[in-house]
């Protein structure tokens, strides 16, 4: 009747004695009290590094959001005086677009989803004491911190920050004469290169750790899905980053050393950069999507008290998505002048990605079937992620069709589409993860009322902001333009512009409850106890927050992570580390 519930205990060998792993001497034996610097700044503890990524990412999200708000004010009332800044001019707008996009992708999404959750969860969820290479991990964060300083510093150099778009297409980016900007673009390239290096070090660490440091008895197929998604995302990143870094180096050489990789007059080709950029850039969106989906995959079972539906299907579709993402890049170039015969194959691969992504989403939806759904804030954001991401997913098919893309490429339709594809994993996923793992990170519960306020505000205003952009895009409004009054021939879009701007303000204001909740709960939150959600995965076997070294005793793993409501058990959860027959210790405190 129920093969899954008991079988693992039978086929699993007696766990070996805890191996002496953990990778770093710092974790052997007892711990000396650490100095402030060792503990909070140059820490090798994955949890502290996760928090460093978390706080840096949140800070940069505020920067990126502020830039978005500036652009939105300009678009709704062109030429308006912004208090303290005066009226915006075209060059500034281009800088804000560029820095907003760059910041959100590289300095918000990456540090929050991979830097913070990857670092925090990977060792804890596999029962390890730390990452495989704790010092490399520290170097990764500090390289990232340096890149952040370089990026922010570029605002203050003569000429200001880069105005050439987050895609940095040459010749505009390669030739200061065309962009009117020397130092901003130099520093942009440097910052992006450093950031990539930081996450390459991180990725190597994630993959090695998840594969090598698993607790005794933990097979790859006992890994929580979020770890699979982090692994696949890291692998995608490792394989795609090389071409971009190479492209960026050539760009820097074109700018500084007089080479002509992208200069047609010197025998180069501007399209080369586009290929290198999107060979990285498209897989990159899956690098961001997968960890977001992973967070949802952990939360749905816990708050519907049911196993995740179709673990293996989700796993294989994740891998298929990752592989396919390497052969779709030219869909960004349908109108760029590539050979028109390439359109059909790239259209095909692009649109086919809908199949594995649908497998994952449908499996998530099916997880709810016959569940018992509790609407915690974490669960609301996880469900919201699915509901909102569907909009981004289906509109992608329009972009994927080469012929339809001729019309919508580089219009606001694309802007709306990619925000609907990125905000669910990056913001909804991140928020869901914060509400869910905050008790583990900080030992206290967050406030649910503030959380729900945050959820509804965010969800409503995301749509108020971005739905109007689809309408503008279908009218033909091009993106990256600072003065929409230029396009009166396309119809009056004032209402849409104002809606989108009001939506953005609402969206930013909706983050206030989160900030209050986050910092207030550090102090006033209810003490969480080790396992407040009655969840199965290993991080909940550690104290909250886990001490340096994580677990009091090395846990062993006896089953897969999604054993909820198994028939014949008194409790409706069955932690991975509990031998069969033992009752779960600790319940909702």
Given candidates 489, 523, 553, 570, which one binds other proteins under the rule CB under 8 A? Answer: 489
277: closest CA among 237, 248, 238?
248
Distances (CA, A) of 563 to 6, 309, 362, 530, 558: 10, 11, 20, 18, 11
Given candidates 507, 541, 557, 578, which one binds ligand HEM under the rule CB under 6 A? Answer: 507
Q: Using the rule CB under 5 A, give the single segment among 82-90, 188-196, 279-287, 401-409 that binds Cu ion.
A: 279-287
Number of residues that bind ligand HEM (CB under 6 A): 24
Task: Report the C-alpha gap between 270 and 264 in whole angstroms.
Answer: 7
Task: Provide φ and ψ at 444, rounded to 5°.
Answer: -130, 160
Q: How many CA atoms lie within 13 A of 587 on its CB side?
A: 6
275 binds Cu ion (CB under 5 A): no
Given candidates 27, 46, 129, 282, which one binds Cu ion under the rule CB under 5 A? Answer: 282
Tokens representing 428 are: 């909804």
Q: Using the rule CB under 6 A, give the single segment among 11-19, 387-395, 420-428, 448-456 that binds ligand HEM.
A: 420-428
181 binds ligand HEM (CB under 6 A): no
Neighbouring CB atoms inside 10 A of 257's CB total 8
Task: Provide φ and ψ at 478, rounded to 5°.
Answer: -75, 155
391 binds ligand HEM (CB under 6 A): no
* Residue 552 touches which member of other proteins, Cu ion, ligand HEM, none, C-beta under 5-8 Å by kind: none
Buried b / exposed e along 278-316 (16+ C-beta atoms within 10 A): bbbbbbbbbbbbbbbbbbbbbbbbbbbebbbbbbebbbe
CB of 327 to Cu ion, least distance (A): 11
CB of 36 to ligand HEM, least distance (A): 33
419 binds ligand HEM (CB under 6 A): yes
Given candidates 165, 216, 506, 545, which one binds ligand HEM under the rule CB under 6 A? Answer: 165
Binding to other proteins, residues 268-327 (CB under 8 A):
269-271, 304-313
422 binds ligand HEM (CB under 6 A): yes
Binding to other proteins, residues 154-183 (CB under 8 A):
163-165, 169, 171-172, 175, 177-180
Binding to other proteins, residues 547-566 (CB under 8 A):
562, 564-566
Tokens representing 483 are: 């003065």
Quick one: DSSP state of residue 247? H
User: Helices 511-524 and 448-475 sit at what angle, rounded to 10 degrees?
Assistant: 160
Cβ nearer to ligand HEM, comparing 109 with 131:
109
429: closest CA among 547, 524, 293, 300?
293
124 binds ligand HEM (CB under 6 A): no
Neighbouring CB atoms inside 10 A of 225's CB total 25
77 binds other proteins (CB under 8 A): no
CB contact at 8 A, 318 and 296? no
Given candidates 70, 471, 508, 541, which one binds other proteins under the rule CB under 8 A? Answer: 471
Count of positions (residues) in the chain: 589
Given candidates 46, 100, 574, 577, which one binds ligand HEM under the rule CB under 6 A? Answer: 100
Cβ nearer to other proteins, comparing 271 with 505:
271
492 binds other proteins (CB under 8 A): no
CB of 573 to Cu ion, least distance (A): 39
Neighbouring CB atoms inside 10 A of 430's CB total 26
* Residue 265 touches which member of ligand HEM, Cu ion, other proteins, none, C-beta under 5-8 Å by kind: other proteins
Binding to other proteins, residues 93-122 (CB under 8 A):
93-94
Task: Report the C-alpha gap between 486 and 474 in whole angstroms.
Answer: 17
275: closest CA among 320, 233, 321, 338?
338
Neighbouring CB atoms inside 10 A of 478's CB total 17
Q: Is the Cα dihedral 206, 208, 209, 214 positive or negative? A: positive
Given candidates 193, 423, 499, 542, which one binds ligand HEM under the rule CB under 6 A? Answer: 423
68 binds ligand HEM (CB under 6 A): yes
* Residue 375 touches which member of Cu ion, ligand HEM, other proteins, none, C-beta under 5-8 Å by kind: other proteins
Cβ nearer to ligand HEM, comparing 98 with 521:
98
CB of 402 to other proteins, least distance (A): 5
Binding to ligand HEM, residues 233-262 (CB under 6 A):
none
CB contact at 8 A, 367 and 301? yes
Quick one: DSSP state of residue 104? I
Cβ nearer to ligand HEM, comparing 68 with 308:
68
72 binds ligand HEM (CB under 6 A): yes
Quick one: DSSP state of residue 223? S
* Residue 282 touches which member of Cu ion, other proteins, ligand HEM, none, C-beta under 5-8 Å by kind: Cu ion
Q: Is the Cα dihedral 378, 383, 384, 389 positive or negative? A: positive
* Residue 471 touches which member of Cu ion, ligand HEM, other proteins, none, C-beta under 5-8 Å by kind: other proteins
Task: Report the C-alpha gap between 246 and 500 in whole angstroms.
Answer: 37
DSSP H/E element including 143:
helix 134-153
Cβ nearer to other proteins, comparing 106 with 309:
309
CB contact at 8 A, 481 and 406? no
Q: Which residues bind ligand HEM (CB under 6 A)?
A: 65, 68, 71-72, 97-98, 100-101, 104-105, 109, 165-166, 415, 419, 422-423, 426-427, 465, 479-480, 504, 507
Q: Which residues bind Cu ion (CB under 5 A)?
A: 282
């Amino acid at each position: 009747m129920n093969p899954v519930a008991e079988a693992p205990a039978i086929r699993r060998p007696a766990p070996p004695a805890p191996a002496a792993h953990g990778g770093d001497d710092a974790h052997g034996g007892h711990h000396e009290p650490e100095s402030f610097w060792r503990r909070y700044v140059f820490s090798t503890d994955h949890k502290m590094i996760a928090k460093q990524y978390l706080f840096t990412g949140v800070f940069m999200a505020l920067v990126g959001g502020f830039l978005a708000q500036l652009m939105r004010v300009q678009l709704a009332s062109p030429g308006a005086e912004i208090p303290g800044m005066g009226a915006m001019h075209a060059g500034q707008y281009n800088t804000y677009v560029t820095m907003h996009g760059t910041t959100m992708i590289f300095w918000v999404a990456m540090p929050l989803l991979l830097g913070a959750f990857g670092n925090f969860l990977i060792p804890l969820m596999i029962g390890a004491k730390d990452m495989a290479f704790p010092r490399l991990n520290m170097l990764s964060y500090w390289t990232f911190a340096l890149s952040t300083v370089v990026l922010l510093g570029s605002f203050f150099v003569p000429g200001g920050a880069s105005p050439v778009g987050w895609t940095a297409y040459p010749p505009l980016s390669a030739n200061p004469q065309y962009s009117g900007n020397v130092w901003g673009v130099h520093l942009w390239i440097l910052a992006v290169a450093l950031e990539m290096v930081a996450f390459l070090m991180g990725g190597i660490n994630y993959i090695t750790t998840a594969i090598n440091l698993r607790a005794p008895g933990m097979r790859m197929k006992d890994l929580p899905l979020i770890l699979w998604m982090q692994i696949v995302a890291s692998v995608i990143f490792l394989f795609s980053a090389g071409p971009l870094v190479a492209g960026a180096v050539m760009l820097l050489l074109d700018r500084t050393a007089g080479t002509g990789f992208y200069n047609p007059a010197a025998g180069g080709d501007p399209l080369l950069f586009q290929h290198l950029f999107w060979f990285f850039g498209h897989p990159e969106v899956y690098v961001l999507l997968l960890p977001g989906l992973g967070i949802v995959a952990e939360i749905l079972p816990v708050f519907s008290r049911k196993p995740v539906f179709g673990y293996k299907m989700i796993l294989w579709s994740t891998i298929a998505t990752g592989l396919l993402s390497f052969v779709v890049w030219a869909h960004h170039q349908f109108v760029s002048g590539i050979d028109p015969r390439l359109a059909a194959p790239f259209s095909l691969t692009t649109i086919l990605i809908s199949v594995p992504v649908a497998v994952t989403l449908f499996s998530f939806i099916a997880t709810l079937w016959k569940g018992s759904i509790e609407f915690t804030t974490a669960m609301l954001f996880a469900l919201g992620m699915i509901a909102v991401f569907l909009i981004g997913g289906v509109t992608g098919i329009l972009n994927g069709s080469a012929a339809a893309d001729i019309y919508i490429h580089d219009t606001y339709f694309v802007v709306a589409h990619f925000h609907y594809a990125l905000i669910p994993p990056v913001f909804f996923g991140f928020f869901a993860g914060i509400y869910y793992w905050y008790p583990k990170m900080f030992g206290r519960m967050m406030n649910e009322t503030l959380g729900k306020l945050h959820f509804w505000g965010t969800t409503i205003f995301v749509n108020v902001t971005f739905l109007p952009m689809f309408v503008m895009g279908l009218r033909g409004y091009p993106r990256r333009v600072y003065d929409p009054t230029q396009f009166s021939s396309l119809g009056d879009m004032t209402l849409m512009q104002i809606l989108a701007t009001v939506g953005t303000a609402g969206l930013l204001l909706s983050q206030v409850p989160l900030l209050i909740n986050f910092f207030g709960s550090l102090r006033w939150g209810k003490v969480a106890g080790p396992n407040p959600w009655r969840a199965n995965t290993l991080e909940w076997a550690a104290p909250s927050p886990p001490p340096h070294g994580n677990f009091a005793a090395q846990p062993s793993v006896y089953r897969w992570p999604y054993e909820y409501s198994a028939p014949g058990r008194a409790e409706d959860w069955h932690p991975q580390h509990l031998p069969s027959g033992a009752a779960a210790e600790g319940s909702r405190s």
